Chain A
Amino acid sequence: MASFFGRLKAGNGPASPASSAPPAKKDPNAPQLTPLEKLLQDAGPVRADGSDKFFGFENFGSTCYCNSIVQCLYYSVPFREQVINFPARSPPEALERPATGPLPRLNTNLLPDANAQNSTLSPKGRNSFSAPNAASPRKPVLTPGGTIIPGQPQKPEDNKDSPEYKKKQALAAGPVLSMDYENSKAYGMSESLFSALKDIFEAVIAHPSHIGVVSPHKFLEILRRENEMFRTPMHQDAHEFLNLLLNEVVENVEHFSKTRVHEIEDKDTNATISQSDAVVNGTAPSNIGWVHELFEGTLTSETRCLTCENTSQRDEAFLDLSVDLEQHSSVTSCLRKFSEEEMLCERNKFHCDKCGGLQEAEKRMKVKRLPRILALHLKRFKYTEDLQRLQKLFHRVVYPYYLRLFNTTDDAEDPDRLYELYAVVVHIGGGPYHGHYVSIIKTQDRGWLLFDDEMVEPVDKAYVRRFFGGEDQLACAYVLFYQETTEEAMMKEQEEESLAAAEQAAEVNTEPISVTTPKANGLGLANGHDHNLATTPTVEKDDQFASLNHAVTAPALHTGEHSNNLEHVATSIPILGKRQSNIASKKEKAERVKEEKERKAMEKELEKQAKAKRKELEVQRRELFRKQEEDLRAALAASRESATEENKKRGKDGGAELPELEKDKSANGLGSISKGSGLSRFRHSSMSLRHKPKFWSGSKDDRKDDPEMPSTPVVAEVEQAAQGTPGKEEKKNRFSLGRKKSTFHL
Chain B
Amino acid sequence: MFVLPPPPRYPVAGYPGAPGGGQLIETNNTLTHPTGPEHQLVVGEGTYVLRDNLHLATPPPHPSEAPVHNPNPLATTVSPPTAGTKLSIVVVAPRQQSHSRLFRLDTANSTRSQVPPSIQESPNESNSQASDAGSQSVNGNGVTAAPREGLHAPAFGSGNSALAVLNGKDSKDPLKRRKPKSNIVKSNSSFVSRVIPHEALTKRLQEHNPNGLYAFANVNRALQWLDLTSSTKEEHFTKILFTKAHALCHDVNQSTKGPGHVDIILGFSTGDIIWYEPMSQKYTRINKNGAINSTAVSDIRWLPNSENLFLAAHMDGSLIVYDKEKEDAPFVAEDQEQVQAETEKKARLVVKKSVNSKNQKFNPVSYWKTSNSKINAFAFSPDCRHVAVVSEDGSFRIIDFLKEQLLHQYMSYYGGMICVCWSPDGRYVVTGGQDDLVSIWSLEDSMLVARCQGHNSWVTAVQFDPWRCDERNYRIGSVGEDCRLLLWDFSVGMLHRPRAASVRQRSSVTSATLKMQRTRTDGSNTRLRSNSNLTSGSMLDEEEVVHEVEPRARTAMLPPVMAKKVDEHPLCWLGFEEDCIMTSCSNGHIRTYDRPKEGAGSEEVSTTASASNA
Instruction: Name the interface residues of B478-492: CB closer than 8 Å to any CB of A.
Output: 481-483
B148: Cβ under 8 A from any A Cβ: no
Q: Contacts A471-B6, A498-B373 hold; do A533 and B294 have CB atoms under 8 A apart?
A: yes
How far is it, in angstroms, between the C-alpha of A526 and the C-alpha of B67 when the chains are bound?
13
- How far is it, in angstroms, between the C-alpha of A581 and the C-alpha of B328 when the chains are bound? 14
**Among candidates A473, A494, A499, residue contacting B73 with C-beta atoms closer than 8 Å:** A473
**Would you call A326 an interface residue if the criterion is a C-beta within 8 Å of the partner chain's C-beta atoms?**
yes
B52 contacts across to A, CB distance below 8 A: none
Chain B, Cβ-Cβ closest to A430: B2
- Residue A77 at the B interface, CB < 8 A? no
A20 contacts the other chain (CB 8 A) = no
Q: Does A332 contact B (CB under 8 A)?
A: yes
Known contacts A161-B72, A526-B244, A566-B332; 13 additional CB pairs below 8 A are A332-B457, A333-B436, A400-B435, A401-B416, A472-B6, A495-B372, A522-B65, A540-B81, A563-B352, A564-B332, A570-B291, A573-B289, A575-B329
Q: Which of B1, B7, B436 contacts A430 (CB 8 A)?
A: B1
Q: CA separation between A329 and B455, bound complex, in Å?
A: 9
In chain B, what residue has the closest Cβ to A487?
A: B549
Q: Which of B269, B481, B505, B570 has the most CB of A within 10 A?
A: B481
Please name 27 pairs of A and B residues whose Cβ atoms are closer than 8 Å in the assembled complex, sorted by A.
Answer: A328-B456, A328-B457, A333-B455, A398-B458, A403-B415, A410-B507, A415-B551, A435-B1, A452-B74, A459-B76, A460-B78, A471-B4, A471-B7, A473-B73, A474-B4, A475-B73, A491-B393, A502-B372, A505-B295, A533-B294, A537-B296, A539-B296, A541-B78, A560-B342, A566-B292, A573-B291, A577-B330
Q: How far is the CA of A502 from the CA of B553 in the complex (A)?
A: 38
Interface residues of B in 47-99 (CB under 8 A from A): 64-66, 68, 72-81
- Name the contact of A521 in the complex, choosing from B73, B77, B415 (C-beta under 8 A): B77
Q: How far is the CA of A713 from the CA of B332 in the complex (A)?
A: 59
B66, B271, B330, B416: the one within 8 Å of A538 (CB): B271
Give the contacts of B5-34 with A (CB-CB under 8 A).
5-7
A258 at the interface (CB under 8 A from B): no
Asked whether, in the complex, the Cβ of A333 is within 8 Å of the Cβ of B482, the reply is yes
Give the Cβ gap from B182 to chain A, nearest Cβ, in Å.
Answer: 15
A564 to B330 Cα, complex, angstroms: 9
Interface string of A522-555 (1 = CB under 8 A from B): 1100110111011101111111100000000000
Cβ contact within 8 Å between A563 and B455:
no
List the B residue with the shortest CB-CB distance to A463: B76
For the complex, what is the distance from the CA of A418 to the CA of B7, rounded to whole Å? 38
Write the chain B residue with the least CB distance to A401.
B415
Given contacts A333-B457, A450-B74, A521-B68, A404 and B435 within 8 Å (CB-CB): yes
The distance in angstroms between the C-alpha atoms of A411 and B11, with both chains bound, is 57
- Expressed in whole angstroms, the Cα–Cα distance for A474 and B72 within the complex equals 10
Whether A474 contacts B73 by the Cβ 8 Å rule is: yes
Mark A358-372 against chain B: 1 for CB-CB distance below 8 A, else 0.
000000000000000
- Chain A residue nearest in CB terms to B243: A529
Contact assessment for A472 and B373 in the assembled complex, using a CB-CB cutoff below 8 Å = no
Contact A428 B435, beta carbon cutoff 8 Å:
no
Asked if A330 and B296 sit within 8 Å, CB to CB, the answer is no
A494 contact from B65, B393, B456, B570, Cβ within 8 A: B393
Instruction: Identify the A interface with B (CB < 8 A).
Output: 161-163, 326, 328-330, 332-333, 394, 396, 398, 400-404, 406, 410-411, 415-416, 418-419, 426, 428-431, 434-436, 438, 450, 452, 457, 459-460, 462-463, 471-475, 487, 490-491, 494-495, 497-499, 501-502, 505, 509, 521-523, 526-527, 529-531, 533-535, 537-544, 560, 563-564, 566-567, 569-573, 575-578, 581, 711-713
Q: Report Cα–Cα, A353/B125, bound state, in Å.
A: 79
CA distance A534 to B327 in the complex (A): 18
CB contacts under 8 Å to A, within B357-386, are 362, 371-374
Residue of B1, B329, B505 with most partner-chain A CB within 10 A: B1
Contacts of A522 in B (CB 8 A): 64-66, 68
B66 touches A499 (CB 8 A): no
| Chain B residues with a Cβ closer than 8 Å to the other chain, count | 85
Interface assignment of B317: CB less than 8 Å from any CB of chain A = yes
User: A581 contacts which chain B residues (CB < 8 A)?
Assistant: 330, 332
Distance of A125 from chain B, by nearest CB (Å): 15
Query: How far does the Cβ of B569 sit from chain A's closest Cβ, in whole Å?
Result: 8
Partner of B316, one of A163, A415, A505: A505
Q: By the criterion CB–CB under 8 Å, are B76 and A540 in contact?
A: no
Q: B68's closest neighbor in chain A, by CB?
A: A521
Give the docked Cα–Cα distance between A329 and B481 (Å): 7
CB distance from A535 to the nearest CB of B (A): 7
Q: A328-B482, A505-B316 are in contact. Are A563 and B4 (CB under 8 A)?
A: no
Chain A hits for B295, CB < 8 A:
505, 537-539, 542
Asked if B332 contacts A498 (CB within 8 A), the reply is no
Bitwise, B323-357 to A at CB < 8 A (1) or not (0) is 00001111111000010001000000000100000
Given contacts A326-B456, A494-B373, contact A534 B73 (CB under 8 A): no
Chain A: minimal CB distance from B202 (Å)? 33
Q: CA A430 – CA B414 in complex, angstroms? A: 32
The 9 tightest CB contacts between A and B, nearest first, are A498-B372, A472-B6, A400-B415, A570-B330, A537-B80, A539-B315, A475-B73, A333-B456, A534-B270
- Closest Cβ of chain A: how far from B338's Cβ, in Å? 7
Complex contacts, B549 vs chain A, CB 8 Å: 416, 487
- Asked whether, in the complex, the Cβ of B190 is within 8 Å of the Cβ of A529, the reply is yes
CA distance A491 to B76 in the complex (A): 27
**Contacts A404-B435, A572-B289; A450 near B76 (Cβ below 8 A):** yes
Q: Chain A residues with Cβ under 8 A from B2's Cβ?
A: 430-431, 711-713
**Interface contact tally, CB-CB below 8 A:** 247
What are the interface flags for B368-410 relative to A under an 8 Å C-beta threshold, 1 for contact and 0 otherwise?
0001111000000000000000000110000000000000000
B358 to chain A minimum Cβ distance, whole angstroms, is 15
Give B434's nearest chain A residue, CB to CB. Answer: A400
Q: In this assembly, does B453 line the interface, its C-beta being within 8 Å of a C-beta of chain A?
A: yes
B362 / chain A contacts, CB cutoff of 8 Å = 575
Q: Does B288 contact A (CB under 8 A)?
A: yes
B518 within 8 Å of A (CB atoms) = no
Smallest CB separation, A572 vs chain B (Å) = 7
Residue of B5, B64, B289 most packed against chain A (CB within 10 A): B289
Q: Are A400's CB and B553's CB within 8 A?
A: no
**Could you tell me the distance between the alpha carbons of A521 and B64 in the complex, rounded to whole angstroms?**
12
Q: Which of B191, B317, B327, B481 contacts A498 (CB 8 A)?
A: B317
A533: which B residues are within 8 A, CB to CB? 289-290, 294
Which chain B residue shows the least CB distance to A540? Answer: B78
Chain B residue numbers with a CB within 8 Å of A541 are 78
- Contact between B270 and A535, CB atoms less than 8 A apart: yes
- How far, in whole Å, are A416 and B352 apart by their CA atoms in the complex? 37
Q: B465 at the A/B interface (Cβ < 8 Å)?
A: no
Closest chain-B Cβ to A485's Cβ sits at a distance in Å of: 10
Question: Is there contact, CB below 8 Å, between B190 and A530?
Answer: yes
B411 CB–A CB distance under 8 Å:
yes
Smallest CB gap from A573: residue in B: B291
- Tell yes or no: B204 within 8 A of A by CB: no
- The smallest C-beta distance from B334 to any residue of chain A, in angstroms, reads 10
Q: CB-CB contacts of B230-264 with A at 8 A, as 1s and 0s?
A: 00000000000001110000000000000000000
Say whether A537 contacts B81, CB under 8 Å.
yes
B200 CB–A CB distance under 8 Å: no
Of all chain A residues, the one with the shortest Cβ separation from B9 is A472
Of A535, A544, A575, which one neighbours B244 at CB under 8 angstroms? A535
Interface string of B449-471 (1 = CB under 8 A from A): 00001011110000000000000
| Contact partners of A490 in chain B: CB under 8 A | 394
A566 in contact with B1 (CB, 8 Å): no
- Residues A418 and B414 in contact in the complex (CB < 8 Å), given A332-B435, A410-B504: yes
Chain B residues, Cβ within 8 Å of A326: 456
Q: Which residues of B contact A501 (CB under 8 A)?
A: 316, 372
Q: Are B413 and A404 in touch, CB under 8 angstroms? A: yes
Q: Judge if B3 is at the interface, Cβ distance under 8 Å.
A: yes
B552 contacts the other chain (CB 8 A): yes
Contact A398 B68 (CB under 8 A): no
Bound: A531/B483 CA distance, A: 36
